[in-house]
């Protein structure tokens, strides 16, 4: 497994900037699985990502529509599984169609869908940190295809060292 990368942001703008850099580096077929508590900054990261893909217009949270699509350099599928009750519902939404096309997927509350995602997708875990506008963003389990993006992120933002490393 690829090693984890953890970044620390101190404002919504910084989280958006992390997303923007990801959007610039994104490749067709990339799938980002976003996790973290309410208000952690998942949608904020997606907004920056959309900017990095040159999507015009504001990306709102699709919580009520579950899935929305935006055109930029690549097609962005923004999926939010907060409201599903059962992993089966993720299948019913037909998200495998989006997962395997040549756009990119950003899936909020991906853990709600159980294990329907193929191996090697990049998990992005956002969480609160000390300080009201501080967050940690941890990347894990991504296959080698995400390595150049991880490299760029770690060169642009100072990674947080895991305890004991």
Ligand X SMILES: Nc1ncnc2c1ncn2[C@@H]1O[C@H](COP(=O)(O)OP(=O)(O)OP(=O)(O)O)[C@@H](O)[C@H]1O
Residue of 124, 147, 142 whose CA lies nearest to 9: 124
By CB under 5 A, what part of segment 44-73 binds Mg ion? 61
Binding mask 101-140 for ligand X (x = CB under 6 A): -------x------------------------x-x-----
By the rule CB under 6 A, 65 interacts with ligand X:
no
Can you tell me the distance from the alpha carbon of 141 to that of 82, in angstroms, rounded to the nearest whole number?
22
Contact of residue 38 among Mg ion, ligand X, none (CB under 5-8 Å per partner type)? ligand X
Residue 126 CB neighbour total at 10 angstroms? 24
Alpha helices in 5-61 (DSSP H): 12-25, 42-52
Interface map 2-21 toward ligand X (x if CB under 6 A): -------xxxx-xx------
Question: Among Mg ion, ligand X, none, what does residue 52 contact (CB within 5–8 Å per kind)?
Answer: none
Q: Classify residue 156 by burial, with Cβ atoms within 10 Å: 0-12, 13-18, 19+.
A: exposed
Residue 43, interface with Mg ion (CB under 5 A)?
yes
- Choice between 48 and 72, CB closer to ligand X: 48
């Amino acid at each position: 497994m690829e090693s984890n990368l953890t970044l620390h942001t101190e404002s919504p703008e910084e989280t958006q900037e992390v997303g923007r850099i990801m959007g610039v580096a994104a490749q067709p077929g990339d799938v980002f699985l976003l996790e973290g508590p309410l208000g952690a900054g998942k949608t904020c990261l997606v907004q920056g990502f959309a900017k990095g893909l040159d999507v015009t217009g504001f990306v709102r949270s699709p919580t009520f529509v579950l899935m929305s699509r935006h055109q930029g350099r690549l097609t962005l599928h923004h999926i939010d599984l907060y409201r599903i009750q059962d992993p089966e519902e993720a299948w019913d939404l037909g998200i495998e169609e989006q997962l395997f096309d040549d756009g990119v997927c950003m899936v909020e509350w991906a853990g709600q869908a159980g294990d329907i995602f193929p191996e090697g997708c990049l998990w992005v875990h956002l969480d609160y940190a000390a300080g009201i506008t501080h967050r940690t963003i941890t990347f894990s389990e991504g296959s080698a295809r995400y390595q150049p993006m991880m490299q760029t992120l770690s060169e642009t933002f100072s990674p947080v060292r895991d305890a004991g490393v």
